[in-house]
Structure 1
Amino acid sequence: MYRILKAELLKYGENTSVRGIPKFLKSKEIFLKLLWLLFFLFSTGFLTYMLVNLFTSYYSYPIITMSGEKGTILAIYRSPASSFDAFLRHLECILDKLKPTTDIYLVGDINVDLSKCTTQTGILLSDFSDHYPIFSFFNSTNLSSQPPGILGTRHFTTKTFDIINKILSMTKWDDVLGSENVETGQNITFPDITICNLDPFSEGEPNELSMENYLSLVKKYKTEWLNRIHSNNFPDGLKSVENIEDKVKKIFDDLLTVSGYLINLNKDRPKSEDCPNLVVDCSFFGTDWFETNDSCSTETFTRLWNANYLNCYTLQMSNINISNKNVIRGISLLLNVGPPNFINVPYQFSLTKSQARGVQVSVHSSGTPADLKRGFNVAPGTENIVEIVQTERKRIDKPHNKLGCTLKKTLESSNSTKYTQDLCVEYCEQKLSKQNSNCVSHLLNVPVEEYNTVVCGNLSYVFSLNESSIDLINEESTNNIIFSQLVAKYGLKAIFEDDDDSCADQCLVPCQEIIYDTQLTSATWPQPSVELDLFQKYFIDNECMDNVKVKSRYINYYNTIKQVGNVPLSNLTQIGESMLEIKFIMPQNCPYFLADTPAYTSDMMIGSAGGMLSLWLGITIASGVEFVEMVYLLIKRFWEDKNIQSTNEEKGTGISDRNKSKNVISTDIST
């Protein structure tokens, strides 16, 4: 058996395609044997090292992030019999509709040789030989009207499409346009804009509840509750809470803030009586930077309630019908934050809320609510330029992205809201808050579906706050408020820490989303020389002087224009104290993209591994077939040898039995 196996292995070694082994076995000289042995050992060792590195890199799933501007692919066909001049006019019309502010790649069966067609600034990237589609770049619509040579009809084959895909894979593109739908190009999409006045009392103190009465009553509740804790006279359900006194103090401190006051007010606020309104003037600007004819005013903005700033205004671009299919690249806003108020309110040191003077601005994708926590502030008396950059972000899922990503387009809890990871987490936490305390937190975005749900800490929901008598403190009501606040503020935190399937784990980053980044620059505004003209246009012409409060505040401007008395220019400060200008612009010509792709794909890994094996030892697929053949022959020889041994053993047993029989017979005869 050993002899047979040795023979088969020797036969395989002498005939295998693996480099080094046949030479080692067939060489008769010691030097050559050592030479090929050293070659085989070194190549095997180095090849093993390289393969280990290759597979380690591959299974670490690295990615490459590509970035750049997106181009437009225009697919078009021209019949050989058609007029070339007519084709050029049609192409001019298409490019004019596209209003190309980005690269235009022309792919199709045009039956002309564009290498003979010129543009003033266009560049011919590639023109395939006859019977292949052209692939050209246009940066201008000024094409030559001289007809180039007309080629024969080009036929599309599998090879044709392979060439197209190979060439196009070298560029950055997503969409292919036909001449019938050229309006759907790679245009920028202007985001929604939300603006909130940082002073919630700019429109005056609400009549339904004064800040003074609210603070006074909450302080009485706080004193009463601390007395109950000291005398151990509070609900049994709260006695098991650790550090109950510190937590109750913290709850009342949160209620003794402007936010605590605002969540106790009616959400449906009356319209502002200030003149002019927060949005004084508004203009849209198109692709060519000229002002469009589309109307823009306070009515263009949607008024929304906010727990921190009371009233916010959102410009929803999806609700605006832009004329002539313009692409909006800029919006200019003139805002009025109103006069400074001197209502005594508590100062709250906070990361997510501002008590500065001016406006809070949030730039967000269309179809998503504003995230004011991640917005920025703009002060009055300034002109501000907000540069917006649109980026289409694409990610890949596991295993390359260890955290994974989701293909969800909308939120499960709100089908009308586009999916973002931050909104998903906040809506999930709001859902837990409602389940555990039957209220929603003002610290998080409130879903539209929960707009009428009670906000945690809303004391006015259970009793009137216009009364400040300590006798009106209802034990059951205050117990409910404190209990709901404890659950909302501390209970949810414990839930998130103990729950393995927390909101952060449930809400993955989207695999594809549009991101808007902003950069702000500011300058002092306005110039003193234009203040009187501003006052004339936006105060006098808008009949704001009919408002007694407004006229009293701006009386110096009014008297100066009417030439009443001699007002020093140093007294004309009210416009700079109350008004500001913000210009939102998108300087880019087309969306940027940021896309993740695998650094090593399976075909790349197979190609690299195959190249290494072939380079160092000449191992190919055929080598694997040879190995399988060797194993087959070894098993076959082993089986044949086993059968031969069994046959021989059977023959040997038969002879032995006959000999034994003869011995017995001879014994009997002798007997």
Structure 2
Amino acid sequence: MDDTPEDDYKNHLDTAVEEIRDEWPRRDNYSEELSFNPLCRLEVVCDNFGCFDYRLNVFQKWEEGHLGKEQVEEVFQKSETPDFSDLLGLFSPTIDDLDNFSIPAKDFIKTCSYDRRACSHKNFYSWPSDQYGRCYTYNSAYRRVTVKENGKEKIVFAKVKKTSSTGPVGGLRVTLNIQTSEYLSLLSSEVGARVIVHSPYHIPFPEDEGFNVSPEYSVSVGVTRKELKRVGKPHGNCAPNTNNSDFMQYASLRCRKECVEREYWRQCKCYVSKNHIGMHAEDRPEDQCSPFKVEQKVCMDMVMFSYQQRRFTCNCPPACQQTLYMTQVTSGQENRLFYTIVQNMKQEAIADDLCSNSSSNNATVRFHVYMDTLSYETIEESPAYTFDTLICNFGGNLGLFLGMSIVTIVELIEFLADLLLLLFPWNRRRQYASEAFKTIFLGE
């Protein structure tokens, strides 16, 4: 009779204990713990010498969220895609890590000018993203500044800037130092920066929108604006631009992100997004979800699977009023000699690549964003059938039907009268009778 899995497990365990007793000195306070790993679906035995499965394979615990070199290599070796795309976001830094290890704004933003006027890193609003780390937004309505009012300092939201210049002469020019020497090559498949042109009242999601700019090229971005005005209920389905404690304007993408994030809160008891989603919510969990904690990993996968299969719905219609910025990106070879002359004349370091002739260590990104034209396109929805249209159509049809009825009745009466006159010609009979009487009388 064949051995059952339980007998096989006991035999392996007894053999392991005998080998350990022969090779290792006796230890006091020996303890043994039997547990079940839901991720690998096998029993795990942990004792004073480590953790093993029932086939005596060493089992590395990931429940604490800390990985060694061997565990990291094992994760990448088990990837099922040739470019490790299935591991994106797996090694995501926490907000504390971003605060401690991200590039400071003054070192990241080397030079800045807006409509031919100087600006600096202080004019940028900093916020965390889920995949791209620390991000910076120019002309953001969320940036706070300190002003003096009645002799007292007061923190208020910065005023949004407007421009009246068009073409490549004006616009925003920025030089970034992305510090490629600090990149983790295994986790960074691209070198450069992510750029998004959006409304000042929105906080975007770089994972879902935007474009990349790379070193060694001068990138120009022409921008045109498009306004969308949708019709709300009862003719259509859109959401008004109401704000909350985290966002100033409504956005359908942000609504869907928040819906999924709250599902993580409810089912997994932890948060996933480091963006502003639910940052000030009272029911937001304190712990960040970790893909290396088995229960949280399984829970996150189940929530995302349920969302993709529409097991739960998110009521996130498009905004009733939406501003879109359409971009046209062009790039050209940068002229290092020009920037070198500027740096020498200014006697100020404006880029690290100007001090080296090697292009392999180029960590400078330059781009220019400007408005192509001040005119913009407006797409406005209108109700196909309103209450006024209903009243007008009803009145018109009623008038048409009644008018046809009266005319028909009058014509019918006239027709009957003519018919009677033809059938009963009373006047002609009297005339014929009078003429006959006269003829008879005269003849007599």
TM-score, normalised by the number of residues in structure 2 = 0.59
Greater relative contact order (Cα < 8 A, sep 6+): 1
- Alpha-carbon distance in structure 2 between the residues aligned to 1:274 and 1:513: 33
Deviation at residue 361 of structure 1 after TM alignment: 0.9
Q: Give secondary structure in 2 for the equivalent of 1:491.
A: helix
For 1:573, the aligned partner's letter is S
Question: Structure 1 residues 327 and 453, CA, compared in 2 at 3 Å: closer, same or farther?
Answer: farther
- Note if 1:619 corresponds to 2:404: no
For 1:361, the aligned partner's letter is V
- Alpha-carbon distance in structure 2 between the residues aligned to 1:273 and 1:491: 33
> 2:50 is matched with which residue?
none
Matched-pair contact (CA < 8 Å) for 1:393–1:513 = yes
Give the number of the structure whose residues are more often helix, by fraction.
1
> 2:323 is matched with which residue?
514
> 2:221 is matched with which residue?
386
Matched-pair contact (CA < 8 Å) for 2:127–2:275 = no
> 2:150 is matched with which residue?
none
Q: Give secondary structure in 2 for the equivalent of 1:277.
A: helix
For 1:530, the aligned partner's letter is F
For 2:303, the aligned partner's letter is G
Where does 1:235-274 land on structure 2 (aligned, <5 Å)? Answer: 257=87, 259-264=89-94, 266-267=96-97, 269-270=99-100
Deviation at residue 421 of structure 1 after TM alignment: 0.8
Which among 370, 390, 399 is matched to residue 204 of structure 2?
370
Which among 565, 573, 578 is matched to residue 359 of structure 2?
573
Which among 243, 256, 264 is matched to residue 410 of structure 1?
243
- Note if 1:594 corresponds to 2:379: yes
> 2:55 is matched with which residue?
none
**Could you list the runs of 5+ residues in structure 1 that have no partner in the other structure?**
1-223, 235-247, 286-290, 348-354, 460-480, 545-549, 557-570, 628-671
Deviation at residue 314 of structure 1 after TM alignment: 1.7
Deviation at residue 339 of structure 1 after TM alignment: 3.6
For 1:520, the aligned partner's letter is V
- Note if 1:278 corresponds to 2:108: yes
> 2:178 is matched with which residue?
337
- Note if 1:309 corresponds to 2:90: no
Question: Structure 1 residues 367 and 456, CA, compared in 2 at 3 Å: closer, same or farther?
Answer: same
> 2:280 is matched with which residue?
449
Q: Give secondary structure in 1 for the equivalent of 2:225.
A: strand
For 2:110, the aligned partner's letter is V
For 1:284, the aligned partner's letter is Y
Aligned length: 321
> 2:14 is matched with which residue?
none
> 2:43 is matched with which residue?
231
- Alpha-carbon distance in structure 1 between the residues aligned to 2:39 and 2:233: 56
> 1:99 is matched with which residue?
none
Q: What whole-Å deviation, never above 9, does each CA across 1:336-383 have from its counterpart, x for those lacking one?
A: 222445745257xxxxxxx31110012221222122121110111112
For 2:192, the aligned partner's letter is G
Matched-pair contact (CA < 8 Å) for 2:240–2:320 = yes
- Alpha-carbon distance in structure 2 between the residues aligned to 1:326 and 1:494: 45
- Alpha-carbon distance in structure 2 between the residues aligned to 1:375 and 1:346: 20
Question: Structure 1 residues 624 and 441, CA, compared in 2 at 3 Å: closer, same or farther?
Answer: farther
Which among 337, 340, 360 is matched to residue 529 of structure 1?
337
Q: What whole-Å deviation, never above 9, does each CA across 1:181-235 have from its counterpart, x for those lacking one?
A: xxxxxxxxxxxxxxxxxxxxxxxxxxxxxxxxxxxxxxxxxxx95896233779x
- Alpha-carbon distance in structure 1 between the residues aligned to 2:249 and 2:387: 34
TM-score, normalised by the number of residues in structure 1 = 0.41
> 1:176 is matched with which residue?
none
Where does 1:20-169 land on structure 2 (aligned, <5 Å)? Answer: none
What is the root-mean-square deviation in Å for CA atoms of aligned residues?
4.4
Q: Give secondary structure in 2 for the equivalent of 1:522.
A: strand
Matched-pair contact (CA < 8 Å) for 2:37–2:43 = no
Q: Give secondary structure in 1 for the equivalent of 2:222.
A: strand
Deviation at residue 608 of structure 1 after TM alignment: 6.6
Matched-pair contact (CA < 8 Å) for 1:364–1:516 = yes
Question: Structure 1 residues 492 and 361, CA, compared in 2 at 3 Å: closer, same or farther?
Answer: same
- Alpha-carbon distance in structure 1 between the residues aligned to 2:405 and 2:75: 73
Which among 272, 276, 300 is matched to residue 488 of structure 1?
300
Q: Give secondary structure in 2 for the equivalent of 1:488.
A: helix
Q: Give secondary structure in 2 for the equivalent of 1:529.
A: helix
> 1:426 is matched with which residue?
257
Matched-pair contact (CA < 8 Å) for 1:267–1:305 = no
Question: Structure 1 residues 458 and 358, CA, compared in 2 at 3 Å: closer, same or farther?
Answer: same
Deviation at residue 250 of structure 1 after TM alignment: 9.1
Matched-pair contact (CA < 8 Å) for 2:343–2:349 = no
- Alpha-carbon distance in structure 2 between the residues aligned to 1:626 and 1:399: 40
Deviation at residue 386 of structure 1 after TM alignment: 1.4
Matched-pair contact (CA < 8 Å) for 1:279–1:298 = yes
Percent identity, please: 18
Matched-pair contact (CA < 8 Å) for 1:302–1:314 = yes
Deviation at residue 394 of structure 1 after TM alignment: 0.6
Q: Give secondary structure in 1 for the equivalent of 2:91.
A: helix
Matched-pair contact (CA < 8 Å) for 1:426–1:444 = no
- Alpha-carbon distance in structure 2 between the residues aligned to 1:365 and 1:300: 16
- Alpha-carbon distance in structure 2 between the residues aligned to 1:555 and 1:427: 45
